[in-house]
Amino acid sequence: MEDLISSAKDYKDELFKQLSRIGKSLSSDKRLEILNLLAQGPKTVEKLAQDTGMNVANVSRHLQVLNDSRLVKFTKKGTYSIYSLVDPSVAEFLYSLWRIGENQLSDISRIKKDFISQMDGLYTLTMDEVYEKLKGGNVVLIDLRPEEEYEDGHIEGAVSVPMEKLDLYLKELPRDKEIVAYCRGKYCAFSDIAASKMKHEGLMAYSMAEGIYEWHRYMEQKH
């Protein structure tokens, strides 16, 4: 019996040791940012470097850590390595992590509030409000993410208006409809910035804090 107890302890210790590999790989804000970007769709190392503001060498080192803990995978296309999340469960984990962070870390709410307070008159819609407006039909939903992310997946009916091209689209957006903007979810400030810019141009514009992952979860619950 003592041998079994000792063996059980070793078994437990080894399991927690393996789980700690995941925890250690998430102990970097930049690795969390990379995972959030990959949740939007596959990306090359070069694209991740561009989006995070890091150099290619640093991104590669972070990706190696994430790959070692089996959170990401990659394929080769010519000379490029294209990375993606290993499976949807990683996106689910990121969503849970964000919710825990919002609930337990007051600094997150403060940072968001301080940022939004810089934009007068900005109103962020809940997903219930967006859903009802879409049902009414008198609204245009715009996706501010890069075109390749939009092509990889988007909210049904959304129009692709990449953030860097928003100024070019401002004159084309209808003045007789409400405009709702979304981007990469709660990590992304572009929807707030875009809605504020559109309001200053006289459009009836709102932001949606959530992204496509939260929206798909919401729609699954609706049905």
Catalytic residues: 183
Under 8 Å between Cβ of 143 and 182 = yes
* Burial of residue 135 (number of CB atoms within 10 Å: 0-12, 13-18, 19+): exposed
Torsion of CA 22, 24, 27, 33, to 10 degrees: -40
Q: What are 222's two structure tokens?
A: 């609706």
